[in-house]
Amino acid sequence: MEKRILLVPLSLFLIQLIIKSSHCKHILSSAPVSIHQQFATSSNCYFMNSICSQHQRDISLTRMPTQHRQTDFKQEGYEIGEKLDSGGFGTVYKAQRDGRLVAVKVIKVSHPPGLDEDLQRELMILTNIRHEHVVQTYDIMRTKNKIYIFMEFASGGTIGKFVRTHGPLTETVSKLWFPPIVDALLYLKSQKIAHRDLKLDNVLLDDYMNPKLTDFGLSRYVLFDEKGRVRLTDSWVGTESYMPPEMLLKKKYNPFISDIWSLGVCLYVMMCNVYPFDRKNRPQMISNQLSRNWRWVDKVAKTVSPNLKDIEGRMLEPDVNKRISLEGISKHKWMPSSQFGIDHH
């Protein structure tokens, strides 16, 4: 098998981790359960039933003591360490389980049943997805006022930070990092999930520098009508620099198609370390998007291949009916001949 350092799977982090706790029972549901039915109370705990998908995993939401202590998490097998990052999404800490590094995302919440709809949806999605290019979730626990999401630790940081630190990527490296992101999105689409906040700061790099898609706080299950057509949505969320014109214009949109535009921005930023459209002047940004008024930075324009120019233009297509599909991207001439998405189910 051909060795590619950027494509080696981190198999140790794909094992199922099972908590055996004296605090609370862990329940794995045998069928999908409404998120509103997933929170139940007893004299000792609140718990969320893990939702089965085609890959059943032991992920559960466990009620911990009101004020967590290190000893509480040690009983669950975890030891929480230094803070890695913080923001509107919560705070991320480095942690360990059985000597292995993991990450834990801590989100402040109100007393149950006060989980907002976005968080409920994120927890439901996290319990349902498992893919080699998506950050793996191991366990979900809660205290009275906090949710703890234990997940795979990605030591390489984000692709966004890598590009900001080291400058634009070569086309060769972009060609290694871009296909796994496409593969992850194809897998999500097979699960009827749209990411809706696709950006380089939401793509992590593991120990082997393999890309891992993360942050499903704005993701949603896509609905279909009786004829199998995607129901358009009117919730305009995401990061402005990565948003397509249909969202900036507040039009109803197909989340799968809008993710394609964001994917195009990701590839452009990988290659140029700047955005294709300047968000400082929104009307001008929208005008430039609609008129396809963007170009490669001079240094990059001299080196990019015709196939890269073609796939980029097809992703940054303002007409949603003409924009390339995920399936089209995966089969494009620019993509490596050995496809990543052999089986997305």
Residues carrying an active site annotation: 197
Taking the C-alpha atoms of residue 52 and residue 337, their distance in angstroms, rounded to an integer, is: 34
Q: With the CA atoms of 76, 81, 85 and 88 taken in that order, what torsion angle do they form, in degrees rounded to the nearest 10?
A: 40
333: left (phi over 0), alpha (psi -120 to 50) or beta: alpha
Residue type, 130: R
Would you call 162 helix, strand, or coil by DSSP?
helix
| Residue of 272, 260, 157 whose CA lies nearest to 212 | 157
Strand ranges for the chain from DSSP E: 39-41, 46-48, 61-63, 78-87, 90-97, 100-108, 137-142, 146-152, 193-194, 203-205, 211-213, 220-221
Q: How are beta strands 61-63 and 137-142 bridged, if at all?
A: parallel
* Nearest by Cα to 181 from 259, 241, 82, 91: 259
Q: Which two tokens stand for residue 108?
A: 């402040």
